[in-house]
Structure 1
Amino acid sequence: MAMTLDIARDNPNAPSVTASRPDAAQPANDQAPAAVIAPVMSEDKPPLIGLSREELADAMASIGIPEKQRRMRASQLWHWLYVRGVSDFSLMTNIAKDLRTKLAEAFSIARPEIVSELISVDGTRKWLFRFPARGAGRPVEVETVYIPEEGRGTLCVSSQVGCTLTCTFCHTGTQRMVRNLTSEEILAQVLMARDRLGDFPDTNTPQGAIVPSEGRMVTNIVMMGMGEPLYNFENVKKALLIASDGDGLSLSKRRITLSTSGVVPEIARTGDEIGCMLAISLHAVRDDLRDVLVPINKKWAIKELLDACRAYPGLSNAKRITFEYVMLKGVNDSNQDALDLVRLLKGIPAKINLIPFNPWPGSEYECSDWDRIEEFADIVNRAGYASPIRTPRGRDIFAACGQLKSASERMRKKDRDAGTAA
């Protein structure tokens, strides 16, 4: 059974954390590091998180910082935000107190509100973060997932509130599209995860947490959460360039993977302008089936998608494209499907991730039998593709691939359904 941490805030500056543990096998003391206690995002002040260095310098100009000091002040802020991970100007000790006061009056570096934190029996963590409305009519929520493995910790980051793509096997696709996340909000998911895991200097990892045995807690980012990243290209690009900046969060671009359902016109730009690893949500080898599973295929069919993959900037055996393939019983899991998959990917430096389908309430699909998945994997492996079967993680807290959907949206749907039934 999963553990739930409910984050209750009496006021934005004094949150309290309470934990309930229905499973006695869970670690007994999982308190959050002190850095998580921070002001909560609002729309009152413009944010500094998510700005480029040049934009930070412009922000300094807007509060009267002399031109000769602007680049230096921008570098100081960059260090405090992304190396030290602070969320309170008062902690920036190498900046004069009067300037810290001026910064606090003019700008925000606050974190989103944590609505809930769920911890799976396998150590996977899922956060529900709440962001300001910013035109949506009311505050919005997204889910972010941390997956600890031996030697690495992967953070699955969302790019949109809801999704427009309506992929039929994906829970997020049942949630209406509300708005794009800003570069600040995309980066905030990374900063919050590092806060909660004690992954910044002078913070502690929660006792009993399942994390890599040494080094960073968050070693990899995958843009595989809620939304289609390439339908929010500019904000995603800005956030990932900051995440991969060597003087800040300093994540290698080889440890950042962007997953797309197939927004063909933006694929080349992803390679040219972001330079990260690419993953394709393929899931079918025939257009008629992919039209159903991944409806964006009606706009850009399999041939167009794979042509864009073959032309991906920097593609090589050392920089392969990952093709994601969810295993759906009796739908796309035959030996012929495996052979056709091998044929389609011929000539593309690639690896294939086979994903056992993760069920969610109301889904019409079933996961392929394990023997069927293994036989499918044998066929693609014999063809020379590394084809790991992605073991489901976090299923008990709906944190696995295709299961993300904001909890508040689930509750609103439940209320709507109950009203209809009445």
Structure 2
Amino acid sequence: MTKIDYKSLTLGELKTLLGEMGQPAFRAGQVYSWLHQKQVTSFEEMTNLPQALRDRLAQEGYITVHKVARKLVSKLDGTQKFLFQLRDGNCIETVLMKYKHGNSLCISSQVGCRMGCNFCASTLGGLVRNLTPSEMLEEVYAAQRESGEKVASIVLMGIGEPLDNFDNVMQFLEILSSPEGMNLSLRHVSLSTCGLVDGIYKLMEKKLQLTLSISLHAPNDEIRNRTMPVNKKYNVAELMKACRDYFRVTGRRISFEYALIGGVNDRPQDAKELAALLKGMPCHVNLIPVNPVKERGYQRGSRESIARFQQQLEKLGINATVRRELGSDINAACGQLRRAAEQEAQQR
């Protein structure tokens, strides 16, 4: 018998399940509160439930709880990076970053990634599987437990492509923002995609108040085809049309992520072409000095070239900032810690 993943259930689904168990309607609210407000890790902690119900819940299902396989804390800025081990032994990364406006948590949505962006460590090894809603929620809950810090905002920018795990991510967002649960407003959530146009249109129909971030990383098809295989399915023109449609329907300004790769996409002509591409679109460009990945061979440009790129965009009317680098002393970039752990395991 397949065991029930309680933490992945919406309140409505939990009400149906407990009703089928012959329980009164209010029991579902109690269980849901224990899972998502008090964020307990065992059924025995649900002290206002009858012992018989706690025993049955434990017999027929489980509470997803991540094991901390590794934890790194930056001496520079307090960034905390977690390598969480899942029930099946797979590992994912989660990063807690401290800002003046509150703590932001970068979570993974998949074990591995199949998008193949060739400047990213997350895609090395390909996709293993999707994360369930409970596994994404537990990234948040476990990070809060382990750090003793409250999470104020969440970015789905860790390992994986969120729109490639669309249904589970939508269920995760529903539970995360539920008033009876953690009650985190989706205005404090950013979802990053490498450009799955069909997924952008599906997300547009939901009209959620989250921030959509597009991992653009190139101003044209020639560069994007070389660095991001997804562009061969959805080219830059298709992606830009989807972004304009998304803004028209949702009214939500889009953020564009742009990893600056030395000598590849950080030249003055690239800045000029990028500005022309985004002209007239309410947006923000987040410039990211690329993190060198040994297996990829790309390098970042100089501080001066990065500053020039930003200044050129600003002069051309495009709002652009350079992302503050956090956790540089603990390999806080996506996929690096998981990759290191895998390599160590292979050498044993």
TM range (shorter): over 0.9
Whole-Å separation in 2 of the counterparts to 1:234 and 1:53: 17
- Tell me which residue corresponds to 2:5: 47
Tell me the CA shift for residue 360 of structure 1. Answer: 2.6
- Tell me which residue corresponds to 1:396: 329
- Tell me which residue corresponds to 2:61: 107
Q: Mapping of 1:211-290 within 5 angstroms?
A: 217-273=150-206, 275=208, 276-290=210-224
- Tell me which residue corresponds to 2:14: 56
Aligned 8 A contact 1:328 1:356 in 2: yes
Letter in 1 for 2:320: S
Q: Mapping of 1:189-228 within 5 angstroms?
A: 189-199=139-149, 217-228=150-161
- Tell me which residue corresponds to 2:243: 309
Whole-Å separation in 1 of the counterparts to 2:56 and 2:347: 46
Aligned 8 A contact 1:162 1:405 in 2: no
Unaligned runs of 5+ in 1: 1-42, 134-138, 200-216, 416-422
Provide Cα deviations, 1:117-158, integer angstroms capped at 9, x if missing partner: 11112211111111133xxxxx21111111111122111111
Aligned 8 A contact 1:358 1:402 in 2: no
Tell me the CA shift for residue 414 of structure 1. Answer: 5.8
Whole-Å separation in 1 of the counterparts to 2:180 and 2:28: 12
Letter in 2 for 1:128: L
- Tell me which residue corresponds to 1:211: none
Letter in 2 for 1:393: L
Aligned 8 A contact 2:83 2:337 in 1: no
Whole-Å separation in 2 of the counterparts to 1:401 and 1:356: 13
Between the two proteins, the alignment pairs up a number of residues equal to 345
Tell me the CA shift for residue 62 of structure 1. Answer: 4.2
Whole-Å separation in 2 of the counterparts to 1:132 and 1:172: 20
In the alignment, is residue 125 of structure 1 matched against residue 85 of structure 2?
no
Tell me the CA shift for residue 402 of structure 1. Answer: 6.4
In the alignment, is residue 156 of structure 1 matched against residue 106 of structure 2?
yes
* Alignment CA distance shift 1:340-1:228 (3 Å): same
In the alignment, is residue 80 of structure 1 matched against residue 34 of structure 2?
yes
TM-score (norm 1): 0.77
- Tell me which residue corresponds to 2:307: 374
Aligned 8 A contact 2:271 2:309 in 1: yes
In the alignment, is residue 323 of structure 1 matched against residue 323 of structure 2?
no
Letter in 2 for 1:57: K
CA-based RMSD? 1.9
In the alignment, is residue 356 of structure 1 matched against residue 311 of structure 2?
no
Tell me the CA shift for residue 399 of structure 1. Answer: 1.1
Shifted more, 261-270 versus 97-106: the winner is 97-106
Unaligned runs of 5+ in 2: none
In the alignment, is residue 333 of structure 1 matched against residue 256 of structure 2?
no
Whole-Å separation in 1 of the counterparts to 2:340 and 2:180: 36
TM-score (norm 2): 0.93
Shifted more, 117-126 versus 404-413: the winner is 404-413
Question: Percent identity at matched positions?
Answer: 39
Letter in 1 for 2:213: A
Tell me the CA shift for residue 379 of structure 1. Answer: 1.5
- Tell me which residue corresponds to 1:91: 45
Aligned 8 A contact 1:315 1:349 in 2: no
* Alignment CA distance shift 1:282-1:402 (3 Å): farther
Select which of 104, 108, 116 maps to 2:70: 116
